[in-house]
Structure 1
Amino acid sequence: MTDTSTPPASESTAAAAPAAETAASADSAASSEETSAEAKKSETVTSDSDLFRQSEIAADYVEGLLDILDYDGDIDELVSAGRPMVEVVGGRLQPLVGQRGATLEALQELTRLAVFRATGSPSRLLLDIGGYRASRRKELAAVARNAVEKVKEHGEAVRLEPMSAFERKCVHDVVNAIAGVQSESEGVEPNRRIVVRAAE
């Protein structure tokens, strides 16, 4: 099912609470977003057809959620960079993203759980709503470059604010592409953060 119109919802604690309970089930999937190395460790060989099947299952689940929540949106399922993905596009979707993407992350965990229940395998599915992740990547790239400049100028490590696994992955990718600096994560969820320092 592609480009399916569906209805939206409001930011609900009902979505966030179950997501917290399912975080343990999707722990390997969430942590695999943190760094490319971790992703390679946890990633199993999966065919494109299997990945697209996961995105179809996820799209059906998201469509049902939008219908229940009475939100309208076009749903696209695809495979991008070796992982299943579902994108929801439409107006008035901000409540489904939430502050700093918190509701989006909760909905993603619920959707991953739905895929797991249908296939029996953990999923690295990425859910995006209203183009939030693309715009957030640009913001985080600027944050990462700013941290790198501070490290190079002052020589001291820079600790960033706590971030989600998706956000940390974005920062790691930018920092790791710049010579002379390195990044690592410290702390535990939900206060896990990135430290940028001079390369050893």
Structure 2
Amino acid sequence: MSAESTEHALSEDVVEDRDESGTADISPVKSSAASRLEEEGDIAADYLEELLDIADIDGDIDIEVRNGRTYISIVAEEETEGLESLVGEDGEVLEALQELTRLAVLSATESRSRLVLDINGYRQERTGHLQKIAEDAAASVKETGKPVALEPMSAYERKIVHDAVADLGLVSESEGEGNGRHIVVSAD
């Protein structure tokens, strides 16, 4: 775990205790939730490192705990074709790898994980694209007054779009099942 991630995790887990005189005694105490997320990150990183070794792909693994979630990033200093293959077309391989990593954490901890895996900044880039999709849909709804159905996307991506649509003052709802689950944006 990077020093920054550890420092961030500790900063969220400071407990203030006041003695009889009212003087604050502030000491870093890891909560069980933060500790669990750090353990989840370590297990995920070990699993992913082993997979990278088996596939003979170079990449550095960064772990960050924020907003009650573990974020794992695999990055390479140079453009590595092997890492790009782990993203796949439209992030399909990345989604599958994230699910396998969550299963590895579940197997080790007997607790479901909500960790998010990113490779070479794909999710960050995709978030910008999803913001644009939400803005375009919102503009269309405001102009025509008619609901707009978006293409199917993963639960993680739908969450990003739902948040963006809400920030734009409109309503969004997920419809459909399985791989066909998509968002419909409307004015009400």
TM-score, normalised with respect to structure 1: 0.76
The question of 1:102 aligning with 2:88 is answered no
Please report how far the alpha carbon of residue 165 of structure 1 lies from its aligned counterpart in structure 2 after TM superposition.
1.0
Alpha-carbon distance change, 85 to 192 in structure 1, aligned in 2, over 3 angstroms: same
RMSD: 1.5
- C-alpha displacement at 1:2, in angstroms? 5.2
C-alpha separation in 2, matches of 1:106 and 1:2: 25
Counterpart for residue 69 of structure 1: 55
Q: Matches of 2:100 and 2:86 in 1, distance apart? A: 13
Give percent identity, aligned residues only: 54
Does 2:125 match 1:138?
no
User: Does the CA-based 8 Å contact 1:162-1:192 persist in structure 2?
Assistant: yes
Matched AA of 2:50:
G
Secondary structure of 2:178's match? Answer: coil
Residue 186 (structure 2) pairs with residue 197 (structure 1): yes
Residue equivalent to 1:82: 68
Q: Does 1:188 align with 2:174?
A: no
4+ runs deviating over 4 angstroms: none
Instruction: Report matched runs for 1:1-200 at 5 Å.
Output: 47-90=33-76, 91-92=79-80, 93-179=83-169, 181-199=170-188
Counterpart amino acid of 1:99?
A: E
Larger Rg: 2
Q: Which runs of 5+ in 2 are unaligned?
A: 4-30
Aligned equivalents of 1:152, 1:76: Cα separation in 2: 41
Give the counterpart letter for 1:55 in structure 2: G
- In structure 2, relative to structure 1, the CA distance for the partners of 1:153 and 1:169 (3 Å cut) is same
Tell which has more relative contact order, 1 or 2 (C-alpha 8 A, sep 6+). Answer: 1
Deviations 1:129-159 (A, max 9, x none): 0100000000000000000000000000000
Cα separation, 1, equivalents of 2:124 and 2:52:
21
What TM-score do the two structures reach when normalised by structure 2? 0.80
Corresponding pairs, count: 157
